[in-house]
Amino acid sequence: MAAALLKTIDRAVKSSFSIRTSVFPPARFGRSVARCLSTTPAKASVQTTTPMPEADGFPGVHTHQDLYDFSLREPDTFWGTLAKSRIQWIKSFDRVSDCDMSAGKIEWFLGGQLNVSVNTLDRHVQKMPDKVALIWERDEPGTEVRITYRELLAMTCQLANTLRSHGVKKGDRVCIYMPNSPIAVAAMQACARIGAPHSVVFAGFSADALASRIQDANCETVITTDQAVRGGKVIELKKTVDDAVANCPMVKRVLVAQRTGKEVPMKHNLDFSLEEDMCRQSTECTPEIMDSEDPLFMLYTSGSTGKPKGILHTQAGYLLYATMTSKFAFDIREDDIFSCVADIGWITGHSYVVYGPLSNGATTVLFESIPTYPNPGRYWEMVERLKINQFYLAPTAVRLLLKFDESWVKKYDRSTLRKLGCVGEPLNVEAGDWYSQVVGEGRCDLVDTWWQTETGGIMITPRPSQPGAEILHGPMRPFFGIEPVLFNDEPGPDQGKELTGKDVSGALCVRKPWPGIARTIFGDHERYLDTYFRPYPGTYFSGDGAHRDHKGYYHITGRMDDVINISGHRIGTAEIEDAMDEHHDVAETAVIGTPHEVKGEVPYAFVILKEGVRRDEEDIAKELKDLVRKTIAAYAVPDTILITPGLPKTRSGKIMRRILRKISTDKEEELGDVSTLAEPSVVDAIVQSHKAYK
């Protein structure tokens, strides 16, 4: 049956690489040039129904629930059909999947060959060359730049040819350290074009953090810009790259694009002007033929222990998953203007600023600024000016903006908005209501999406339902093909057992493989298996806890490990501890996440000084903050640094972070029995220090 179905709807289009495109316009890019347990129904929301055209070919599928059931019952037919119709193949695949979750082995679309950049660019240039692909919403409002698919393809080809001219070849990792800009998108697509996996590093990371990512991936090439501009401030990006590269002997070339045009020191035979090189190159570039399972990109993210891990995604599976989730979670229609205000340095930027919207042929907004620049009406003024249909952010931005007067929202016309999405952290009830009612005027769908760097795309979200169906806040329901399972994680005889039925909470895992799942951690496959596949055998373990309510809807309860979430940015507390432990006066540190009104969580550090250190504590705290800023990034700097005489440890030496969390939130009456600690008296001392600090 599968074969017959595939045949009926096989609409694979022949690939066409030789498309004439306009010359790259350098001047444009040079000088002139974001925990909901709410069950509050959204008041007057309109749910849209967006059936998948392919669903017509599936037997017995009439509703979205039918389609979801079918996707779990016959995953190969489901995903295979979509892959045939939604991806332009150079050579079609022979086998849909070969996965074994118990061994962490994931392979999709075996035998298939494709080029991802052809899918995001060339096939749209064939049909609609002058359609706007990117709207670069630059820092200064009203100075946006529109880039058509034809222009983006030309720029991509010139950049790809530049990379090739420098000797970059298939399989070489390329580090991209750039602000949101068309040339950064072109850099990602150029890497995809020549089969060189990109490693985009968020341009807010410090030189040390950048260096460690360059070293781990062994990148010989770095692409950056002279400076970045954000919220009216200039950021010296090239200088940060210089500092990082000084510790990266493997780097052979740094390609520098212009954002502000400021003269920056250029080292002979190491630094090259990207635009100058690109102008010498053709606007056509033969795409590399890639196997479905060749690496597409890696992206570093934090775990609970150890250094950040390079999560690796591959070609066809990631592309299909980003395409399908963008289209169906957000109902992207032909003339829509889709706006995800994430930075390309995070997975949200990869999947929902770049790959997802572009593969759907949509117009995607690249936001360079911050939500409060030049004033708190920035987002909504932009919605009015650009006529945005979908808006996707992190809840922290909502919590920040709702503090300002509603007039900042209401004075702008938001009638074009249909979907309001959020991701990265729990959407608290107040923020969810404000977003839905004030911004969305109660008529937009609220799309809270749960997913991770490792999942490649959206996993749990409200999905289109039948008209009139009940609408709730919260991530809620699994996407097609996704089967969440909960396991008991409470110590005791039932630990590790699956929790069936409704109204249960436990460790959130996924049973069936899906095309967008990461394939490995670069250079450390054992860590991949240990982290994701060994804790609950036969499933993928997310690291998050979840609650399945009485209706079967899912609500995320937060991380189960020592990863914290600051304004939607994930960081392991161990990374912050490692940075502070480098200080010469510090003996030991413990960092926990503590609730924050706007950022969701902030790091709170408990620090023990070495014997005999008698320095001013404020000076030490300042030095420690600088150290974290220098080693990681500004967002990871602890809000509170408390110098304490000791830490609460078990007799085996394990720090009881649970106790520190209670102290940080003034809940010392909930500490419980501390008599089993190695030194129970230390708890009182920490409580006193905490109170004195406040």
Which residues are at the interface with ligand PRX (CB under 6 A)? Answer: 301, 347-348, 423-426, 448-453, 475, 542-544, 556, 559, 565, 570
Our CB check for ligand PRX shows the closer of 166 and 559 to be 559
Nearest-approach distance from CB 310 to ligand PRX, in angstroms: 13
Which letter does DSSP use for residue 354 in this model? I
Q: Kindly state the smallest distance separating residue 152's Cβ from ligand PRX, in Å.
A: 25
641 φ, ψ (degrees, to nearest 5): -125, 115
**Which residue sits closest to ligand PRX, CB atoms considered?**
453
Closest distance of CB 246 from ligand PRX, Å: 29
C-beta pairs of 463-467 under 8 Å, 24+ apart in sequence: 463/64, 463/68, 463/328, 463/329, 464/47, 464/48, 464/49, 464/50, 464/51, 464/64, 464/328, 464/331, 465/47, 465/49, 465/64, 466/47, 466/49, 466/63, 466/64, 467/47, 467/49
Nearer to ligand PRX, 294 or 425 (CB): 425
Number of neighbouring beta carbons within 10 Å of residue 3: 9
Nearer to ligand PRX, 155 or 485 (CB): 485
Smaller CB distance to ligand PRX: residue 281 or 455? Answer: 455
Cβ nearer to ligand PRX, comparing 75 with 426: 426
Q: Which is nearer to ligand PRX, 423 or 682 (CB)?
A: 423
Tell me the β-bridge partners of 176: 200, 223
Minimum gap (Å) between residue 261 Cβ and ligand PRX: 33
Residue 112 or 572 with smaller CB distance to ligand PRX: 572
Encode 541-590 in three state secondary structure: EEEEEEEECCCCCEEEEEECCCEEEECCEEEEHHHHHHHHHCCCCEEEEE
Smaller CB distance to ligand PRX: residue 197 or 516?
516
CB 594 within 8 A of CB 557: no
| Closest approach of ligand PRX to the CB of residue 1, in Å | 35
Which token pair is 531? 């982290």
What residues have CB less than 8 Å from 675, skipping those under 6 apart? none
Closer residue to ligand PRX, CB minimum distance, 106 or 556: 556
Q: Which is nearer to ligand PRX, 382 or 546 (CB)?
A: 546
With vertex at residue 210, the alpha carbon angle to CA 205 and CA 216, rounded to the nearest 5 degrees, is 140
- What's the closest the beta carbon of residue 460 comes to ligand PRX, in angstroms? 8
DSSP 3-state of 292: coil
The order of strands in the sheet holding 337-340 is 145-148, 132-137, 363-367, 337-340, 390-393, 419-423, 445-449
Do 363 and 133 touch, CB atoms closer than 8 A?
Answer: yes
Query: CA torsion, points 128, 321, 53, 56, in degrees to nearest 10?
Result: 160
The structure tokens listed for 180 are 């949101």
Q: How far is the CB of 628 from ligand PRX (least distance, A)?
A: 19
Strands 295-301 and 198-200: what pairing? parallel
Tell whether omega for the bond before 374 is within 30 degrees of 0, i.e. cis.
yes
Please list, in sequence order, all residues whose beta carbon lies within 8 angstroms of the beta carbon of residue 626, skipping any fewer than 6 positions away: none
Rounded to a whole number of angstroms, the minimum distance from the CB of residue 29 to ligand PRX is: 28
Tokens of 393: 């952010």
Q: How far is the CB of 423 from ligand PRX (least distance, A)?
A: 5
